[in-house]
Amino acid sequence: MDSALQDPHNGSAEAGSPANGTTRPPSTPEGIALAYGSLLLMALLPIFFGALRSVRCTRGKNSSDMPETITSRDAARFPIIASCTLLGLYLFFKVYFPNKNYTGLVLKTWKIQKSKKGKTAVIQNPTTRDSHRFPLEIFSQEYINLLLSMYFFVLGILALSHTISPFMNKVFPANFPSRQYQLLFTQGSGENKEGGRGSPAPGSGLTRPLCPEIINYEFDTKDLVCLGLSSIVGVWYLLRKHWIANNLFGLAFSLNGVELLHLNNVSTGCILLGGLFIYDVFWVFGTNVMVTVARSFEAPIKLVFPQDLLEKGLEADNFAMLGLGDIVIPGIFIALLLRFDISLKKNTHTYFYTSFAAYIFGLGLTIFIMHIFKHAQPALLYLVPACIGFPVLVALAKGEVTEMFSYESSAEILPHTPRLTHFPTVSGSPASLAASMQQKLAGPRRRRPQNPSAIYEESNPKDPAVVTESKEGTEASASKGLEKKEK
């Protein structure tokens, strides 16, 4: 979920004023500069390393390592789906779970009443004065956030384990014991299962029908160690909700998103970024939906850094935040341009470095505007024109616009990546197929002479009688072959 770059966090109403109404001491210029600089650095790391890993990302041994290609149709639908999800979360938190500080979706229509039966919400029609009550004890915002925390706990552990696995493999000694494991889930029953009805007879040389693989995950002992280390971070986040654990999960999500989400071409990237440009501007400037969801949603979907770190240390609570959507969406476009650079085979990464510099410029401009106007800013408002405009200008200068927009990332086959383009179709019972295979094996074979001198004599006959005999032998063998075919 995309969110704007902003100052407040964890329910604070305005920058510099906490939710409980007490006056928060203003952050020092050094603390603000440290927070903004840290957010910028944390945004650049997953884009840079995720783009490099997207080049090496092949359809490898694990189904989770397969890149997901985004088509133009997916890109056009994504802003609509994201808007519906964002609005649903907003109504979920603000309508069904109002709190004491709730001002109302429509002003002066909501009330919170406490009784012996528990807390109830009252909605009143200001015209007819009709009131309706419903209980709030069945669900609460705390329970929903706990459920989401458990979900992101599992998801974050897997993402963080996948992120640190390449680095940890270099740390392990060469004599580290390693055992291979495989987690396989296939779809099918009855005839599609091994040993079921319709399975080939043993020794026939035929394989059983292919079953669609839902999960095919291969891992070893080193991966289990990475999973254990990631679980420690997950427990820390689940119990404390500490901002460092939140950032570790957020960085892992961002890097995996840039690595595993592939745009098929530049036009699709322009459609996706253009649609999310309108989406981000509308939900941040047009409504308070984006900011409200970002504050209420307790999940590692944003990077945060305290502005009062120098004063309060690790227990600081005045945060600046950056949504993961402002990292992943431009990041997958920058990764596409890196793969385009490699496809040109010029040993230069001009478009990658140009778009990377454009991202730095756009995010820096976002931070500057936000600091000047003291208001949350839609980062894609500045990132999209920079990330698209700068590479297109470079392509115009180099005369490579046609090559850029005709490049298809999904069409290239990466090295050492076998692709199965079609599945063979086999019909008939196993017994009939085995019989046909035996007939082919038992059919007449053309034997070649093993003696080199005989080969030489057959190819260079000197005696005319030998030539005549060879012709007669050839005609006789041909007639015998025809007779066998007729039979």
For residues 392 and 112, give the distance between their C-alpha atoms in angstroms, rounded to a whole number: 55
Amino acid letter, residue 211:
C
Q: Is 187 exposed, middle or buried (0-12, 13-18, 19+ CB in 10 A)?
A: exposed
* Backbone conformation region of residue 374, classed left if phi is above 0, alpha if psi is from -120 to 50, else beta: left
- Tell me the backbone φ, ψ of residue 418, rounded to 5 degrees: -70, 135
The token pair at 412 is 């290239």
If we measure between CA atoms, which residue out of 165, 144, 179 comes closest to residue 64? 165
| Contacts of 459 by beta carbon, 8 Å cutoff, 6+ apart | none
17 three-class SS: strand
Give catalytic residues, as residue numbers.
280, 326
User: Distance between CA 257 and CA 181 in Å, rounded?
Assistant: 25
Please report, as a single letter, which amino acid is at residue 14.
Answer: E
* CA 402 – CA 404 distance, rounded (Å): 5
Contact 274, 374 (CB under 8 A): no
End-to-end Cα spacing for the chain: 73
Q: Which helix (H) or strand (E) holds 82?
A: helix 72-94
Beta bridge partners of 262: 69
Strands 131-135 and 180-186: unpaired
**C-alpha distances out from residue 238 to 164, 229, 251, 338, 466, Å:** 20, 15, 17, 36, 92
- Whole-number Å distance between alpha carbons of 135 and 121: 6
Complete DSSP assignment for 125-188: -TTT--EEEEESSSS-HHHHHHHHHHHHHHHHHHHHHHHHHHHHHHHS-TT----EEEEEEE--
Give just the sign of the alpha carbon dihedral 411, 51, 3, 371: negative
Tell me, what amino acid is at 65?
D
Question: DSSP letter at 5?
Answer: B
Task: Name the 3-class secondary structure at 107.
Answer: coil
Closest by alpha carbon to 225, among 183, 185, 173?
173
Q: Is 360 helix (H, G, I), strand (E, B) or coil?
A: helix
What does the block give as tokens for 261? Answer: 């989400």
